[in-house]
Amino acid sequence: MAKAYWVATYRAIKNPDAMAAYANVSRQAIEAAGGRVIARGIPAAVFELGQMERVVLIEFDNVASAKAAYESPAYKAAHDLLGDGADRDIRIVEAVE
């Protein structure tokens, strides 16, 4: 079964305090669900319509694990801390074998 990647791309962080609270709790929830943060921060470079805003890349053993992490009560609690403190999207993609 192929690994999966959870890609979070931020367009704007509107509430840095909410973001900090979310980051702490979400990392614990994601790691408890088997996720491994492999990259995070401001992009080193962007091309085409990219924005110089935060990106987080998290590896999971498979798509089902990545989806389960997002839907878990622990991650929901973290998500609630963020509220509308950021404009972003999260995508889950399956690795190429």
CATH topology of domain 4-94: Alpha-Beta Plaits (3.30.70)
To the question of pTM greater than 0.85 for the whole model, the response is yes
Cβ 8 vs Cβ 89: under 8 Å? yes
Question: Hey, what amino acid is at 53?
Answer: E
Nearest to 92 by CA among 75, 77, 80: 75
Nearest to 27 by CA among 14, 37, 38: 37
Domain ranges of the chain: 4-94
pLDDT, tens only, 37-79? 999 999 999 898 878 899 999 999 999 999 999 999 999 999 9
